[in-house]
Amino acid sequence: MNDTRDIDCLSRLTMFSTIYIEAKIADHPRTREICDRFPQATRVACKRYGEVFNPKSQNFRLQKRKPALILAHKHDRRVLETPDGYGIGGPANYYFSHMLNCLYDCRYCFLQGMYRSAHHVLYVNYEDFGTDIDAILDKAGNEPCWFFSGYDCDSLALEPVSAFMQHFLPFFAARPAAHLEVRTKSTQIRSLLKHTAIPNAVVAFSFTPAEIHASLEHRVPAIERRLEAMQTLQQAGWLLGLRFDPLVYQDNYQQQYARLFAQVFSRLDTDRLHSISLGTFRLPRTYFRNIVRLYPDEPLFAGRFAESDGMVSYPAELEDEMTGFCTRELLKYVPETVLFPCMLAA
């Protein structure tokens, strides 16, 4: 295992040397708390965060080396319905992102194709997200609703700064009809361990095989460290999920995934796994093109791809083969009831 890629989130945080602060939340207590953590950082006031985040002339790849932190207010479209086909069995599914962008640097990540900037935007008005979730719950009556966090970021990677879970765990604990998925590749589980496990939250860890992790998931904690974190959470009573998404093709993908599944299921109590989802690599066409422009020499993008309905993905027969193989392998360890294929953009 390469320890240099197993960089702890906290040590990376010392790299925030610039913090942009949107005028509307300049006096927000969360803004002050976060700024106090980085006394050396240069603070730059801005009217709206888009002035910093959206300009066209930015280079995502260069910014990714030394991203700034942008503290902002999320005005609208805070909690949105997920696209069809996204979910883990619940009748009503929504997603929300308290952050844009990620500390990690996965070469297949759609965020690189979606945003012009690699700076980290953190929306500090968590209370407004909560108000919107409550409005959805009110409308749904007593029907259960799922809320997926970590759609435009990693839910836990910046937890020591964002205190996102610290805020939202008590919120969801008080609302049993609201189910939370926390999706992560991080080992930042301290906030979770400080809180009693709640039955309506699932902590979902994403994995690719060791070979893919080594070549494509830069700065992501090692597989073993994530499994240790999962074991610790499982022992503390937390419900866990596994996300094998994206499934990435390499000539020997069958051996790679068979080895990964054997490793994962040797460490976890499979009777207490909430859900497993899997989906082959796919991206909206424009994002795919943007990413190829950023990394023209990346072998991942030189593979066999097909375009359909604005999406770039493996050809259908390869998708079926990979999904079929991985499903059969997974069924050696878990019942079909916990498996959920996903056919949408990762």
Min dist CB 150 to ligand SF4, Å, is 7
Residue listed under structure tokens 């690599």: 281
Tell me how far apart the terminal alpha carbons of the chain are, to the nearest angstrom.
26
Q: Which of 185, 213, 226, 274 binds ligand SF4 (CB under 6 A)?
A: 185
Stretch that binds ligand SF4, among 34-42, 88-96, 103-111, 280-288 (CB under 6 A): 103-111
Residue listed under structure tokens 């499982």: 234
Q: Which of 109, 230, 312, 322 binds ligand SF4 (CB under 6 A)?
A: 109
Angle (CA) 124 218 158, round 5°: 20
Min dist CB 197 to ligand SF4, Å, is 24
Stretch that binds ligand SF4, among 12-20, 105-113, 138-146, 290-298 (CB under 6 A): 105-113
The answer to whether residue 281 forms part of the interface with ligand SF4 (CB under 6 A) is no
The answer to whether residue 276 forms part of the interface with ligand SF4 (CB under 6 A) is no
Q: What is the DSSP letter of 39?
A: T
Q: In angstroms, what CA-CA distances link 217 with 7, 46, 154, 320, 324?
A: 12, 33, 13, 24, 24
Spatial separation of the C-alpha atoms in residues 214 and 2, rounded to whole Å? 8
The answer to whether residue 154 forms part of the interface with ligand SF4 (CB under 6 A) is yes
Q: Which is nearer to ligand SF4, 59 or 255 (CB)?
A: 59
Q: Which is nearer to ligand SF4, 153 or 192 (CB)?
A: 153
Q: Which is nearer to ligand SF4, 111 or 180 (CB)?
A: 111
- Max alpha carbon distance in the chain (Å)? 55
The answer to whether residue 159 forms part of the interface with ligand SF4 (CB under 6 A) is no
The answer to whether residue 202 forms part of the interface with ligand SF4 (CB under 6 A) is no
For β-strands 311-313 and 306-308, DSSP reports them as: antiparallel
The answer to whether residue 104 forms part of the interface with ligand SF4 (CB under 6 A) is yes
Q: Which helix (H) or strand (E) holds 18?
A: strand 18-22
Q: Is residue 68 classed as helix, strand or coil in its secondary structure?
A: coil
Spatial separation of the C-alpha atoms in residues 17 and 8, rounded to whole Å? 17
Pick out residues in 62-91 that bind ligand SF4 (CB under 6 A): none
The answer to whether residue 288 forms part of the interface with ligand SF4 (CB under 6 A) is no
The answer to whether residue 106 forms part of the interface with ligand SF4 (CB under 6 A) is yes
Contact 86, 342 (CB under 8 A): yes
The answer to whether residue 98 forms part of the interface with ligand SF4 (CB under 6 A) is no
Binding interface with ligand SF4 (CB under 6 A) = 102, 104-106, 109, 111, 153-154, 185
